[in-house]
Amino acid sequence: MNEKRIPLSKTELEAIASEYPTPFHIYDEKAIRENARAFYRAFSWISGFNNHFAVKACPNPTILNILREEGMGVDCSSLAELVLSERVGFKGDQIVFTSNDTPPEEFIAATRLGAVINLDDIGHIETLEKSAGLPELLSFRYNPGEARTGNVLIGQPQEAKYGITTDQVGEAYRRIRDKGVKRFGLHTMVASNELENSYFVETARMLFELAVKIKRDCGVDIEMINMGGGIGIPYRPEDSAIDLSEISRGMQKLYGQIIVPESLDPLKIVFECGRLVTGPYGYLVSRVRHVAHKYKDYVGLDSSMANLMRPGLYGAYHHITVPGKENMPPGRTYDVTGSLCENNDKFAIDRPLPEIEAGDLVVIHDTGAHGYSMGFNYNGKLRSAELLLRDDGSVQKIRRAETIDDYFSTMRFPGAPVSI
């Protein structure tokens, strides 16, 4: 169980909304910092432990800078994410580049920044070699196929487009070694939003055993293991948060059993978690435009899938709180919708909530990761602002809302004199 609370009262939210019109995402800086510190404490036995925050989860420079100040690195998978990270001040091995179907210019940018490149496919060795040249340290993403089960969000490993297969591992590492690569990493990511502690211990076991196999078969010493992201968060009140210290203890035991006897110690272990880092500390704040009574009862918000796609895309649960009505009984059942002409533009279906009226504020929880960033402009809907609730309780705008001119800025209208 976890308590789904919002860090702001109705009065405080109304005051914020009077300055920054709804909808907006607001992130809780204090909670993000405290959570980051707890993450590092849990894995302090690992020399060189790091989490490379998956930029795609919350690509906002202010948030990235907070994480940089807390000692985190970044995980990028596109040119824009690399450039964003560079502009925030990340460099060298603080940046991991885990991409797929990668164009040469992205390998060139990653190489220029000194990022740790994580190849998704054996065929990408040649693309990297021809575009930027092979670096001293190179990593591969491993896909265990049928050896592991995935989950709903990411699918089964053998159906996933990512990573090299078990049969390709030996050839992949031999090939890069023969081409002069000197240092080697190993990465995997097999689950997403996973809440089972043991799943990650098993992933560590799989990677530790594979590192041993690579050493024995190819004479290649893996020096860095990247556990990927995918640690889940308790979106539902009845979910339990993951226990990082339990995962850490399980990994430490396996490290002693598998890595140390093979003289692979010290092995650097890193993660690429996004959701765990910012997910629970972001909130989408909207206002109710209409309450409609049709075959069902609908609460229509001033936000839409453009602001938060997960419920419509995956049927994901996001908890909803009506500020000021936290203690009222959830005596009504509503579909909470946006305004897109798409019937899956619903934040919640058949959700028990207190009686809602037009003008109420509605807070959607856990939008700090894969929230704003998944937004799109379908139906000409504009993406909202992002706000930061600072350590000292003040509020700062860290991204303005899109304007209709932003939306039109890439279009050429008939007869327009200006070139685009």
Ligand X SMILES: *Cc1c(COP(=O)(O)O)cnc(C)c1O
Site membership for ligand X, residue 369 (CB under 6 A): yes
Evaluate whether 192 touches 230 at the Cβ level (below 8 Å): yes
Site membership for ligand X, residue 75 (CB under 6 A): yes
User: Is residue 273 annotated as part of the catalytic site, yes or no?
Assistant: no
User: Which amino acid appears at position 39 of this protein?
Assistant: F
- Shortest reach from residue 369's CB to ligand X, in Å: 5
Site membership for ligand X, residue 273 (CB under 6 A): yes
Stretch that binds ligand X, among 173-181, 186-194, 261-269, 376-384 (CB under 6 A): 186-194
DSSP, res 23: P
Q: Would you state the structure tokens that stand for residue 139, as one six-digit string?
A: 């990593």
Provide the 10 A C-beta neighbour count for residue 117. Answer: 25
Q: Would you state the structure tokens that stand for residue 89, as one six-digit string?
A: 């001040």
Query: Residue from 135, 230, 338, 375 that binds ligand X (CB under 6 A)?
Result: 230
Query: Residue from 229, 234, 312, 338 that binds ligand X (CB under 6 A)?
Result: 229
Query: Residue from 109, 189, 220, 269 that binds ligand X (CB under 6 A)?
Result: 189
Q: Whose CA is closest to 191, among 142, 248, 240, 151? A: 151
Distance CA 144, CA 371 (A): 29
**Beta-sheet strands, E only, within 83-144:** 95-98, 116-119, 137-142
Stretch that binds ligand X, among 53-61, 85-93, 213-221, 298-306 (CB under 6 A): 53-61
Site membership for ligand X, residue 274 (CB under 6 A): yes
Q: What are phi and psi of 342, to 5 degrees?
A: -155, 120
Residue count at the site for ligand X (CB under 6 A)?
18
- Which DSSP string corresponds to 185-214? EEEE---SSB--HHHHHHHHHHHHHHHHHH
Q: Would you state the structure tokens that stand for residue 398, as one six-digit string?
A: 């860290």
Q: Would you state the structure tokens that stand for residue 10, as one six-digit string?
A: 């109705």
Residue nearest to ligand X (CB): 229
Evaluate whether 218 touches 168 at the Cβ level (below 8 Å): no
Cβ-based nearer residue to ligand X, 8 or 233 = 233
Cβ-based nearer residue to ligand X, 230 or 371 = 230
Site membership for ligand X, residue 300 (CB under 6 A): no
Query: Residue from 22, 94, 192, 321 that binds ligand X (CB under 6 A)?
Result: 192
For residue 358, the SS3 value is coil
Stretch that binds ligand X, among 54-62, 314-322, 347-355, 400-408 (CB under 6 A): 54-62
Site membership for ligand X, residue 98 (CB under 6 A): yes
Q: Which active-site residues does the annotation give? A: 341
Which residues contact ligand X (rule: CB under 6 A)?
Answer: 54, 56-57, 75, 98, 189, 192-193, 228-231, 272-276, 369
